[in-house]
Amino acid sequence: MYYEEQIINGVLCFRNTPNGEWSEFTIQQLSEKCVELKRANLFYSSNIYDITKQMLKLKEDIARIDTLAQRIIYKSDGIYPMGIDDIREIARAWIIESLQETK
């Protein structure tokens, strides 16, 4: 299936074959196209907002994990410190839990 759009003399046109004649969009077709583009823009804007929100939450979580890891690793009150692998497992579980809460 072939489809092409082009602006000719300031008017949006289309054709369905490579060598076919150009047809101007009707006002109704252009209105429908505008509505479709607005819907797509709202959808993508919403997704970008959600992703940005999750990224900010992850940055906060990572900062908390770093603080927790430093406290655990450098603890000097006789309590056996956790190894880095244990800390990573705790961090992974925490991040997964945080992501599920934002859904």
Mind listing the pLDDT tens digit for each residue in 6-40? Answer: 999 999 999 999 999 999 999 999 999 999 988 88
Contact 75, 81 (CB under 8 A): yes
Mind listing the pLDDT tens digit for each residue in 67-88? Answer: 777 666 665 555 555 666 777 7
